[in-house]
Copies of this chain bind each other. A is one copy, B any other.
Amino acid sequence: MTITLHSATVPVFKNTLRNLSYILDKGAAHAEEKKFDPVALTTFRLAPDMLPMTRQVLIACDAVKNGVARVSGVEAPKFADDEATFDELKARIQKTLDYLATVPASALDGKEDTDITFPIGRDKTRTMKAQAYLLTWVLPNFYFHVTTTYAILRHNGVPLGKGDYLAGAAAAAA
């Protein structure tokens, strides 16, 4: 199989979203085992002026949802952004996976050089070719928020290893 824009992005996003859901399970189990309020973990920040874990998960989800929607033209659902619990965050990840499943390969493939204009901050936009946009903007942004979620959990003692981040969901299903 020759690589395509879809195969280079959507399965990659799905794989990591499933692993993100898996590491959230470990966070929830840790809170239960240690008998602390899980909200202390989902609202934790690595620095006072960084976003809390809930937002890290939501932004990871929306990075791929909006990135794929902009390139594919397959409209993405909008969500209320009111997730607070581990279960709600996992449901948000599932909704993102459900959306990705609706995007056919043909909606992305061949669009490498299509100009994509996207918002940066509140009042600016930027334009990139679709391949560069997905691979050098959406993808590092996505991994940034997934890894920051992992770092917040790990910093707070959740028993996680890099294998959980790389392949936890597949290992759990095997």
Which A residues fall within an 8 A CB radius of B? 1-5, 7-8, 11-12, 15-16, 46-47, 50, 110, 112-113, 120, 131, 135-137, 139-141, 143-144, 147-148, 150-151, 154-155, 157, 162-163, 165-166
A131 neighbours in B (Cβ, 8 Å): 1, 3, 7-8
Tell me what chain A mostly uses at the interface: helix, strand, loop, or mixed.
helix
Cβ distance A162 to chain B, nearest Cβ, rounded Å: 6
Complex Cα distance A1/B114, Å?
A: 10
Kindly report how many copies of this chain are found in the complex they form together: 2
Cβ distance A37 to chain B, nearest Cβ, rounded Å: 21
Complex Cα distance A131/B8, Å?
A: 8
A46→B155 contact, CB < 8 A:
yes
A139→B3 contact, CB < 8 A:
no
Cβ distance A20 to chain B, nearest Cβ, rounded Å: 11
Q: Assuming the A-B contacts A8-B135, A11-B136, are A1 and B112 also in contact, with contact meaning beta carbons closer than 8 angstroms in the complex?
A: yes
Closest CB pairs A-B (n = 9): A143-B143, A147-B147, A8-B8, A151-B151, A46-B155, A15-B136, A12-B135, A144-B147, A3-B5
A3→B4 contact, CB < 8 A:
yes
Complex Cα distance A144/B163, Å?
A: 11
